[in-house]
Amino acid sequence: MRLNDLSDQLRRGGAATLNVPAVYPVAEGAVVAPARYAGRNGSEFVFETRHLDGAFHRTVLIDSKQSQSNRAEEGLLASRRDGGAAAQIPVIEVHYDGRQPLCDLELPARCFDAHIRFGSEAGQPVVARDWYRQLRDCAHADLSPLFVTAPAALAFGAWDSSRKSGQLRLRGLVVSELFGVVDDHPGRVSQRSGARLDPLGQDFNLSLAEFEQLLDAQSEYLSPKLVDKLRKELESARKKKSETLSASSLNLGGIPPGLQTPFGVSVPEVRRARTFSLAGLRRLRFGGSADEDVLARTALLAMLLLGVAYGDADPDLRAYCDVAAPRATTFLDDDPVEVDLSIEACERFLADAIAALPERLRWSGQVRRVEGDEALNRGAADGDGEGD
């Protein structure tokens, strides 16, 4: 089967799903770090029951739906940098002085993100510009303004949640998750915490004046939240009339290893469930003929396939979660098919799909430039800055 043949599935009566499950081999004896989520007891793993191979199994989430979507979007950005077919996809860019432009492919809410909504164009608020109003006023009967301005919202999903009425909601058209099977073996969860060895000493007890001197010298380069926390520690030590204060909060000294923190899981392999919703694509309409709708849907599917192909080529999930390249199979609904989903094949598929678009839906690398609000630029912070 050729990738171009998938266009036939984007007409009424085609397959509902394109499924691409996969297995990522794990090194013998390795412990892999799953995704972590904030919980009652600090960061926690997500355990859930899934139906696999004819039975229910306890599994641990390795990489979430949102994370997988982000990796696909990063793949499209990589294709753009490489001069690939994704360079023809229309995008919105937000520009802040002294920073790299932010593209709607990397913004959390995509074209409805606050960075765009609070920006300006030609001296006017973006939300007052005709093109942005048309984009926000889209209805499912005609999504063409979105298609020619910010198709990432159509492919990966978006919700204009801040609008007081007429909110547009778009589902993501690919759902992908990575997980490992752990069943009911508690011993498969490894617990350990990181350690740090300071070659000069495992602890440093400074006088309060020395601590303050170090803090003053570095405060310009630390996060405001961390500086405030350290000054409160210093003030508390003064009230207690302490003579010294540990410099551990300045990231000096060592940290002994511990066994109190979940570190990873032991699994024979990491598995993937991935579904492209062809039925979801078929619900998208673009204000023209049925044939034009199919051409637009094909471009969106090709865009998704290329993004995930880039992500699959470099499965760098996170620290301490090293897996081999995936071994995948492909199904239209539950019928197996042979199809080339390599980066090269998906680049050709997207280029062909873009070339076939009618003039009114043309993708030609359009970029809408938005000037970001400088108050946001000045107020941006990268976090607490409390760790190494």
Q: Are residues 323 and 224 in the same domain?
A: no
Which residues constitute the domain of residue 363?
3-184+261-379
Where residue 386 falls among pLDDT bands split at 50, 70, 90? very low
Render the burial of 127-162: b for 16+ CB within 10 Å, e for the rest: eebeebeebbebeeeebbbbbbbbbbbbbbbbebee
The percentage of the chain sitting over the pLDDT mark of 70, rounded to a whole number, equals 90
In whole angstroms, what is the distance from residue 126 CA to residue 150 CA?
Answer: 14
In a domain, 189, yes or no: no
Rounded to the nearest 10 degrees, the angle between the axes of helix 208-218 and helix 224-239 is 170
Query: Minimum mean pLDDT among 185-199, 266-280, 349-363: which range?
Result: 185-199
Enter the pTM of the model: 0.85
Residue that is written with structure tokens 């002994």 in the block: 256
285 domain residue, yes or no: yes
Residue 275 sits in the same domain as residue 346:
yes
Instruction: Tell me which of 203, 228, 250 is where a domain ends.
Output: 250
Least reliable range by pLDDT among 65-69, 172-176, 200-204, 317-321: 200-204
Q: Are residues 87 and 233 in the same domain?
A: no
* 63/159 same-domain check: yes
In eight-state DSSP terms, residue 320 is: T
**Within this chain, do residues 172 and 318 fall inside the same structural domain, yes or no?**
yes
Q: Are residues 80 and 203 in the same domain?
A: no
Structural domain contains residue 387: no
Does 161 fall in a domain? Answer: yes
- Amino acid letter at 319? A
The reply to whether 77 and 165 lie within a common domain is yes
pLDDT above 90 coverage of the chain, percent: 73
345 and 304 both lie in a single domain: yes
**239 is a domain residue:** yes
* Domains in the chain, number: 2
CA distance 223 to 30: 36
Query: pLDDT (tens digit, 9 = 90+) per residue, 345-381?
Result: 999 999 999 999 999 999 999 999 999 998 998 877 6
Same domain, yes or no: 176 and 221: no
Query: Is residue 256, in this structure, part of any structural domain at all?
Result: no
Strand partners, 41: none
> Residues 300, 172: one domain?
yes
Q: Do residue 243 and residue 305 come from a single domain?
A: no
Predicted local distance difference test score (pLDDT) of residue 188: 60
Residues 293 and 321 in one domain: yes
> Among the three residues 226, 250, 274, which one is the final residue of a domain in this structure?
250
Domain annotation covers residue 386: no
| Residue 388 lies inside a defined structural domain of this protein | no
Over 60: is that where the pLDDT of 121 sits? Answer: yes
CA 254 to chain centre: 34
